[in-house]
């Protein structure tokens, strides 16, 4: 049995903005769009509106973001906390970064702040604005999530799609190309069907009559990649998410009942070596280790998880996450997906608002968005995306991953009452 928390920790009052990008009807690159300070404000205010206490009850603020300095030429994000509420001025506030795991690391920072006893209430806000440059330039910016000096020059023009194309190739060669493509198409279909139920999702307006057939589109190496098609990829997204991490004393300060919160049961924070490529591209080893650590701290196993949010930056990542989290044996993830286990009515409802492929992927906020969605599911406040969670499997799991499986935060949650 691993280490345990010295006090109970809770999440409450989560909020997601719209995930803005090309999938939304209101999006146009010609129209003015919210800047990063607006998303920080909107996301934070969305949480504060759920409190009866004033913003002064918040002890510190963590803002997670990946590449604002490149996408919008804005650093020093911690100093934006007071745009959420004037009462947050002069409170401790910090920005954290870990590529696409930035949101997960934001949560971990808030968790540690509360565990230290220096805070009872920590507000975590995750944000990214990416629709400011052309896709090719954006791919180069996002390549900073890998070892830029050692890998960028030899990488595909669309860097991270190229990396995960290699993972799709490795999985297909080991376990069958046809079955793999079918499973990736089912993953895409699940993402679109779930996003349609979520008003904030980027693919909420998607009216494709047969997303599975669309997902089966044969990859085209000349136009894009040999093993992944464009539908296998999460879209460039702008948005923000926020949630509160609190101790029991913090919940009391906020006037929040435990029925409005979920409890953090365990976590795993594991970081690999960014300068190397791991030998088996069909395995997410860092993710596997992070999830194993979270299970150990929580004292549970994969059979106890009733709702799952994974980092499907690409459909193949979702498939590999199923195996890394222990829901299927190595090489059996495709079969697990093809058996419709990840559907909202399936054995393991997965990415219930669409995941990164369907909801969108505003990189600095995605890990927090995942926690918000699990909080909604476990408190039964998820409205149109609500699923029935097996009472014998009452836990939720999130996986926030940065880079090519380099920084991973996995968190297990349970109802708080």
Domains annotated for the chain, with CATH where assigned, are: 10-134+236-260 (3.40.47.10), 156-234+265-415 (3.40.47.10)
Per-residue confidence (pLDDT) for residue 281, from 0 to 100: 97
**In this model, does residue 18 exceed pLDDT 70?**
yes
pLDDT band at 409 (very low <50, low <70, confident <90, very high): very high
- 366 CA to centre of own chain: 4
**In this model, does residue 1 exceed pLDDT 60?**
no
Cβ atoms of 399 and 290 within 8 Å: the answer is yes
- CA distances to 139, 147, 166, 255 from 156, rounded to whole Å, are 10, 14, 11, 52
**In this model, does residue 6 exceed pLDDT 90?**
no
pLDDT band at 2 (very low <50, low <70, confident <90, very high): low
What does the pLDDT look like over 347-388, one tens digit per residue?
A: 999 999 999 999 999 999 999 999 999 999 999 999 999 999
Q: Which segments within 129-193 are labelled E, that is strand?
A: none
Per-residue confidence (pLDDT) for residue 4, from 0 to 100: 83
Is 235 in a helix, a strand, or coil?
coil
Separation CA 281–CA 105 (nearest Å): 24
Kindly state the average pLDDT of the residues 313-320: 98
Per-residue confidence (pLDDT) for residue 155, from 0 to 100: 78
Q: Which of 135-149, 303-317, 322-336 has the lowest mean pLDDT?
A: 135-149
Residue spans of alpha helices (H) in 34-157: 36-48, 68-71, 102-115, 135-142, 148-151
Burial 368-380 (b: 16+ CB within 10 A, else e): bbbbbbbbbbbbe
What does the pLDDT look like over 65-109, one tens digit per residue?
A: 999 999 999 999 999 999 999 999 999 999 999 999 999 999 999
Q: Which two tokens stand for residue 22?
A: 């090309």
Residue spans of alpha helices (H) in 345-406: 355-358, 366-378
What does the pLDDT look like over 383-408, one tens digit per residue?
A: 999 999 999 999 999 999 999 999 99
Tell me what the pLDDT averaged over the chain comes to.
97
Q: Which two tokens stand for residue 398?
A: 């999130």
**In this model, does residue 260 exceed pLDDT 90?**
yes
Half-sphere exposure of 79 (CA within 13 A, CB side): 3
Per-residue confidence (pLDDT) for residue 157, from 0 to 100: 83
Per-residue confidence (pLDDT) for residue 377, from 0 to 100: 98
What does the pLDDT look like over 203-238, one tens digit per residue?
A: 999 999 999 999 999 999 999 999 999 999 999 999
Strand order in the sheet with 93-96: 93-96, 60-64, 121-128, 239-246, 10-16, 261-271, 407-415, 395-402, 305-309
Separation CA 17–CA 321 (nearest Å): 26
DSSP annotation string for 240-275: EEEEEEE-HHHHHHHT--GGGEEEEEEEEEEE--TT
Kindly state the average pLDDT of the residues 276-299: 97
Q: Which two tokens stand for residue 307?
A: 């709702």
Burial 387-401 (b: 16+ CB within 10 A, else e): bebeeebbbbbbbbb
Per-residue confidence (pLDDT) for residue 305, from 0 to 100: 98
């Amino acid at each position: 049995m691993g280490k345990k928390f010295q006090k109970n920790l809770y999440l409450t009052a989560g909020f997601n903005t719209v995930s803005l990008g090309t999938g939304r009807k209101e999006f146009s690159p010609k129209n003015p769009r919210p800047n990063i300070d607006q998303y920080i404000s909107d996301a934070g205010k969305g949480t504060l509106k759920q409190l009866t206490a004033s913003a002064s009850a918040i002890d510190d603020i963590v803002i997670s973001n990946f590449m604002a300095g490149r996408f919008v030429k804005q650093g020093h994000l911690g100093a934006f906390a007071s745009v959420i509420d004037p009462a947050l001025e002069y409170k401790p506030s910090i920005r954290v970064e870990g590529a696409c795991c930035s949101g997960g690391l934001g949560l971990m920072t808030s968790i540690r702040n509360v565990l230290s006893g220096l805070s009872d209430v920590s507000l975590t806000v995750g944000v990214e604005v990416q629709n400011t440059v052309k896709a090719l330039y954006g791919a180069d910016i996002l390549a900073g999530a890998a070892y830029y000096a050692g890998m960028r020059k030899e990488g595909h023009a669309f860097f991270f799609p190229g990396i995960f194309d290699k993972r799709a190739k490795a999985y297909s060669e080991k376990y069958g190309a046809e079955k793999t493509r079918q499973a990736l198409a089912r993953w895409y279909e699940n993402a679109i069907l779930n996003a349609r139920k979520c008003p904030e999702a980027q693919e909420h307006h998607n009216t494709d009559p047969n997303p599975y057939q669309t997902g089966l589109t044969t990859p085209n190496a000349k136009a894009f990649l040999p093993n992944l098609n464009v539908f296998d990829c999460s879209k460039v997204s702008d948005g923000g998410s926020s949630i509160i991490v609190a101790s029991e004393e913090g919940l009391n300060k906020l006037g929040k009942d435990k029925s409005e919160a979920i409890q953090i049961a365990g976590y795993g924070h594991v970081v690999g070596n960014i300068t190397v490529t791991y030998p088996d591209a069909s395995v997410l080893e860092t993710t596997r280790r992070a999830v194993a650590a979270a299970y150990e701290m929580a004292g549970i196993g994969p059979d106890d998880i009733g709702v799952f949010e994974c980092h499907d930056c690409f459909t193949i990542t979702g498939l590999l996450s199923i195996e890394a989290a222990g829901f299927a044996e190595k090489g059996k993830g495709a079969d697990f997906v093809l058996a419709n286990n990840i559907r909202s009515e399936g054995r393991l409802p997965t990415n219930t608002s669409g995941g990164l492929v369907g909801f969108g992927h505003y990189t600095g906020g995605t890990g927090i968005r995942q926690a918000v969605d699990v909080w909604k599911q476990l408190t039964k406040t998820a409205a149109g995306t609500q699923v029935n969670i097996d009472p014998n499997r009452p836990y939720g799991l999130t996986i926030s991953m940065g880079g090519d499986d380099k920084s991973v935060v996995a968190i297990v949650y349970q109802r708080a009452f």
